[in-house]
Amino acid sequence: MREYLINRLGIIFLIPVAGMGQTVFSGQMIVNGTWPLKGGSSSVSGVYLPDLRCGKTGDWGFTDMDLSYRLSSTNRGTRNRRWYRAQFRIGGSSWDGRVGLQQLNFGPGRYLRSLQWFDTLDPRDPLQLSNGVWGLRIKKYFQNSALQFWALDNTPVHRGFEWISGADQAPEWGGRYLLSSHGDWGLTFHSRNIHIPSELGNGTSEDGSEWRVALDGVWDVGPGIWFEGVSVSRNLQQNPDWNQERFITIGADYTIPLANGITVSGEYFSTSLGDLTNPIHTTNLAAAEIRSSINISDQISWILFSNWQNGWQVSTISWQRILDSWIIYCGWIIQSGSQSINIPGLGSGGGFTLLLVFNH
């Protein structure tokens, strides 16, 4: 039944198009080629993202719709098509609500985000493309704060740093409060049902609940500084060592006033699973970036991800040019070692990558 509704959601959204006052059709054509440094074979992929946006405003507020489809193909014969965005939004001067396939992300982190709960953003991607989530989100704006709540499809697909699947039962739900006072402060929570298959646990399958609570903040004190801290609690009986998990991100950046400005950024990330005083698994990562604009169209950057405990490193040197309708991106990726945890959005492997994007 769910697949039936999802596949027809776009048709349901198309019904109000005729009544919308403003309609815009656009799209992105993307060609991406990768050539590995050693081993493996080169690959070329093409993606087309047609996008239809409609909207209407009035004294009563506004309503709009965003429909975007993803069509992709590779030189190895793989073809795929699916919705990229399919959301309907309505609101007023101090609130808005949206329903459908949407992007849901928050927090000040940039590279190793403890609050990367629902997206697959790669900080190196100039297009910042990400998978979306099916659900409902309502947001209320106040003078110096904002409050939002969401209810999402409970899915077995892993998102962000998730390594335990959803139980595919009742919807997931959560919320976030953001206060702007002497910086920005965020308090976020989320609840979902989870499922442990027998092959992942201790030989027997198990269902349980998971609660996430997070605190984050960002300040501009000359350099910009930020942090994200997440505590995860579960009520597993068969796998009690997994009942506590923690994530923390600490970052800073500073722009050096040379040439057109050189921005230096860095983040530290740590996660631990199990008891606070005696965890069964810990991981510590770091990220650093140097970015500079050569002129109004060209930008160069160097970004590094590292785990000094096991010698894993991914270094990317890139140049990109942004024109009116075109984006050209070239990246040289050097990787060494292997990583014990999956970094959301961060692909593996080294080599040369070329990205061509045409916007219409």
pLDDT, tens only, 323-333: 989 999 999 99
Share of the chain above pLDDT 70, in %: 91
For the cut 80, the answer to whether the pLDDT of residue 19 exceeds it is no
> How many domains does one find in the chain?
1
For the cut 50, the answer to whether the pLDDT of residue 222 exceeds it is yes
* 233 in any annotated domain: yes
* 8 in any annotated domain: no
**Could you tell me the pTM of the whole model?**
0.88
State mean pLDDT over 144-156: 96
* 142 in any annotated domain: yes
Q: Is residue 345 packed enough to be buried (19+ CB in 10 Å), middle (13-18) or exposed (0-12)?
A: buried
In contact, 291 and 263? CB cutoff 8 Å: yes
- Identify the domain containing residue 149 by its residue range: 103-359
CA distance 51 to 33: 24
State residue 5's pLDDT score. 44
* 55 in any annotated domain: no
* 44 in any annotated domain: no
Q: pLDDT per residue over 129-146, tens digit each?
A: 999 999 999 999 999 999
Per DSSP, the three-state class of 4 is: helix
Cβ neighbors of 18 (< 8 A, separation 6 or more) are none
* 71 in any annotated domain: no
276: confidence class by pLDDT, cuts 50, 70, 90: confident
State residue 72's pLDDT score. 95
Cβ neighbors of 143 (< 8 A, separation 6 or more) are none
Residue 182 belongs to a domain with what CATH number? 2.40.160
For the cut 90, the answer to whether the pLDDT of residue 65 exceeds it is yes
CA distance 341 to 113: 14
* 249 in any annotated domain: yes
Residue 169: how many other CB atoms lie within 10 Å:
12
Per the structure block, which two tokens stand in for 288?
Answer: 């650093």
| Closest by CA position to 177, among listed 166, 167, 188 | 188
State residue 266's pLDDT score. 97
* 87 in any annotated domain: no
